[in-house]
Every structure is written in C-alpha cells, then in structure tokens.
Amino acid sequence: MTAVAGVDGLRRCGWSYGAPEYIAYHDDEWGRAVRGDDAVFERMVLEAFQSGLSWLTILRKRAAFRAAFANFSIDAVAQFDQADAERLMSDAAIVRNRAKIEACIANAHAARELPEGLSALVWSFAPTGRRKAPQLMGDVPAVTPDSAAMARELKRRGFRFIGPTTAYAHMQATGMVNDHLASCHARKLCP
C-alpha cells in the first residue's frame, strides 16, 4: 500500500482512510513526539486496549477512556482499587476486558515506581538517527530489536500487556519512530 491522495489533495499513508477519526489521528498525532509521563501512559494504555481490536474502536472510545481512567493520571490510576476495576468492567463506553483493566492499574503502579519516570524510560529505547523512509506500508516493521528490548525492560519493571509488537506500535504513536511513508504529507511534520 502506498500513500493515497485524499479529497483535499494531500497524500496520506493508506491505512488512514476509511473514517474521519483515522485521518485526524494520522495528520495530527501519529508519529509526533509525545513526552511526559501521563501522556506516554495514555498511549501505552490505549495500545494495550487496542490489542486484538480495531484502532478505530479505540479512537472512538478515547474520550470515554479518558473519563474512566482519570485522564490517564498515573498517580490517580495507581490509587484505583477493586471497586474501581468493577466500575470499569460495567462501563459500556470503554472496552470491558478485565485483563486489560487490571494491567492498566498495575502499569500505573509500575510507572509510579520508576525513578527516571515513564517517559524517560521508554524514550531511552528510541532508535538513534533516521532510518530510510518507507516507500510502502509493507516496508514498515511490526517489531524491531528496540521494541523487543523496550518490552523486555517494561516487563522486568512490572508492566503487563506490552509485548514487542505493542511496544513498536507505541513507538510509532509517540513519535519515537517516523513510519509515515516517504510520499505522505505528514512525514515532514514529524521528527
């Protein structure tokens, strides 16, 4: 799949079509640098909830996730207890998956214990230098040695529901890598 021109004349990565939410996410967020512990935590939680589902499902429920998870404040989510987990399980506005909900709460506990902070830890796995821009979506990897190393370290530090593929998706979402296609207009907007 190559970059495709939209009705506005801009060429975008082909995956971004099909819904307005995809286009907005592609143009305004995907591949842009995200820093700050709570902001990085939000992307990590959303990537975990997306596992096995359409990203569009998560985008459409994002506001509800923010409300349900205290705007992804690590300190607030780390205070959640069993009653909060049950509340989340009954919240039809989010994805109700007990393992993912419990992982989110456990990950807030783990993030709070990081002396360097979550943002600094995950960004320490960002590849150095720029790799060649992908020409086709088939050129974009699903896993890299950096994402595998990041997943291992996060698991070692008590994080759950993050493997090498989810870690790489997180790297893409937070701008640690720029996987916009060479012909995509958004490529030049990302570092």
Q: What is the pLDDT of residue 97?
A: 97
What would the pLDDT profile of 133-151 be if each residue is shown by its tens digit? Answer: 999 989 999 999 999 999 9
Q: What is the pLDDT of residue 4?
A: 81
In degrees and rounded to multiples of 5, residue 95 shows phi and psi of -80, 120
Q: What is the pLDDT of residue 98?
A: 97
**Residues carrying an active site annotation:** 25, 47, 55
What would the pLDDT profile of 23-70 be if each residue is shown by its tens digit? Answer: 999 999 999 999 999 999 999 999 999 998 999 999 999 999 999 999
Across the range 146-169, mean pLDDT stands at 97
pLDDT confidence tier of residue 125, bands split at 50, 70 and 90 = very high
Q: What is the pLDDT of residue 9?
A: 83
Under 8 Å CB-to-CB from 48, ≥6 apart: which residues? Answer: 100, 103, 104, 107, 161, 162, 166
Average pLDDT, the chain: 95
pTM for this entry: 0.94
User: The tokens 């060479």 sit on which residue?
Assistant: 182
Going from the N-terminus, what domains does the chain have, and what CATH number goes with each?
A: 3-126+133-189 (1.10.340.30)
Q: What is the pLDDT of residue 88?
A: 98
